[in-house]
Amino acid sequence: MNGLLKLSIAMALTLYAGVAAADKPDTLTIGITGFLSGPASVFGEPAKAASEILLDDLNREGGVGGVPVTAIWVDEGAGGEHVLSEYRRLVQDVGVDAMFASISSGNCKKVAPLAEDLQVLNIMWDCGTQKIFEENSYRYVFRTQANATPEMLSTLLYLLKTKPEFESIAVVNQDYAWGRDSWHIFSTALKQLKPGVRVVAELFPKFGAPDFSTEISRLLALRPDVILSTSWGGDLDNFVRQSVQRGLTERSTFVLPLMESSLQRIGLDMPEGVIVGGRGDHYFLHPEFRHDPEFQAFIERYKAETGEYPIYPVFHIAQALSALKGAYEKAIAANDGAWPGKEQVVDAMEGLEFRGLGRTVYIREDHQGVEDQMIGVTRRDPAYDFAVMDHMMIFPGSAITTPAGMDSTAWLETLSDSILDLPVQTYRHAE
């Protein structure tokens, strides 16, 4: 009898273990949404090219826990409805193990509740809206990079540290959610940290506007000390080129938090002394890693295959992949080496630390990633046919990210001058 009891307990335990540990699959499939058409494909295409290189490297080293990883891309350029239906199809019919969605903040907002419904791990790999985890809480949704608040706050801190004497500012942002929200964050923090700065013009030209001549004439007449633009892609290229042609960059200090992604296209038209950023510590000459052999090998391979140096979405996709690998490995370890179930992988995401191609990022309890931010100023280096970054400051993500459970606007309104004393590392460009 005793023996029988022992046997049944042993059987029950085996059964239980069988439930917790899933069968090891032949491949791990992820679905990735990104813009492969339309203006934002300047971000989607580099990320896609990078994902192929990174997955190739990953699979050559044995994949994730011995399982090779494949990716299926969905074009966000085909519209939000298309993204949602493809998302559903990939999860329900193809049976992907995780989704990476998306570049557009609008798509992230739509996809997050869907991921909860479908109970699939969703990594928001590039979108920037800070509202996702401030307005809702999710079990299956995580963000493996910072959000708009630390991105804007670090830009403002850099400006206040390097040009503390400015008295007036103008903004020229794209007329859609990102352009409006980023200015709201920046101006809220500005009012708090340097009250009395005059906002002389708030211009929101249409998304995709090809011509900024009128805006530039007006800014030339207004002569603001600082001009901020969080635009990106062709819009940013146009605004910068047209401003340079008309001499506006000589009259005002330009602050362009997404410029890292346009530097190579603008080439030598880019003047020196412009404050630039790349949505995190994303830079192909990252001062802390540029001599790291793994980092160098990736940059060289990416350059050889695409003809360009990588820009920030490349770093973002690297972070998402690294987080996925980290979560599986953490879950496997927690599962005594057995292949984990989907829920166990989701559990492993919280508190995860991982490294893509920049500094280490960690996932907070509200699923927001905490990532350091690098801002610098443009300068010329004869070794490159475009402007590079100098006087780079890396701001610690933990100090400039809205605390979990707080609303960004409310938090920014509590900021005090002490944040300007934040210890930051400063790096010079090494020729």
Rule CB under 8 A: choose which of 63, 68, 106, 208 binds another protein: 208
Q: Where are the alpha helices (DSSP H) in 281-335?
A: 293-306, 312-334
Residue 243 in contact with residue 228, Cβ under 8 Å? no
Binding mask 250-289 for another protein (x = CB under 8 A): ---------------x---x--------------------
Smallest distance, Å, CB 49 to another protein? Answer: 11
Are 272 and 242 within 8 A, CB to CB?
no
Q: State the DSSP string of 46-115.
A: HHHHHHHHHHHHHHHTTTBTTB-EEEEEEEGGG-HHHHHHHHHHIIIII--SEEE--SSHHHHHHHHHHH
Residue 246 binds another protein (CB under 8 A): yes
User: How far lies 372's CA from each of 221, 302, 352, 355, in Å?
Assistant: 37, 23, 16, 12
42 binds another protein (CB under 8 A): yes
Decide: helix, strand or coil at residue 287.
coil
Site for another protein in 212-241 (CB under 8 A): 213-215, 217-218, 220-221, 233-234, 237-238, 241
| Minimum distance of another protein from residue 245's CB (angstroms) | 6
Taking the least distance from each CB to another protein, the nearer of 163 and 180 is 180
117 phi, psi to nearest 5 deg: -60, -45
Judged by CB under 8 A, the stretch of 126-134, 201-209, 252-260, 315-323 that binds another protein is 201-209
Minimal distance, residue 202 CB to another protein, in Å: 7
Shortest separation between residue 378's beta carbon and another protein, angstroms: 18
The 167-186 contact track toward another protein, x by CB under 8 A, reads: --------x-----------
Angle at 20 between CA 15 and CA 26, to 5 degrees: 105
Taking CB under 8 A as the rule, does residue 305 contact another protein? no
- Closest to another protein by CB, 175 vs 347, is 175
Q: Quote the least distance from Cβ 51 to another protein, whole Å.
A: 16
Nearest to another protein of 70, 214 (CB atom): 214
Locus of tokens 């299956």: 140
Distance separating alpha carbons of residues 373 and 388, to the nearest angstrom: 17
| Site for another protein contains 27 (CB under 8 A) | no
Contact between 343 and another protein by CB under 8 A: the answer reads: no
Beta partners for residue 253, in sequence order: 226
Nearest approach, Cβ of residue 115 and another protein (Å):
27
- Measured CA to CA in angstroms, residue 362 lies from 65, 142, 144, 225 at distances of 21, 11, 8, 37
Closest CB 291 distance from another protein, rounded Å: 29
Distance CA 78, CA 84 (A): 11
Q: Which of 20, 22, 45, 197 binds another protein (CB under 8 A)?
A: 45
Would you say the C-alpha torsion 42, 44, 45, 47 has a positive or negative sign?
Answer: positive
Q: What is the binding site for another protein (CB under 8 A)?
A: 36-39, 41-42, 44-45, 175, 201-206, 208, 210-211, 213-215, 217-218, 220-221, 233-234, 237-238, 241-242, 245-247, 265, 269
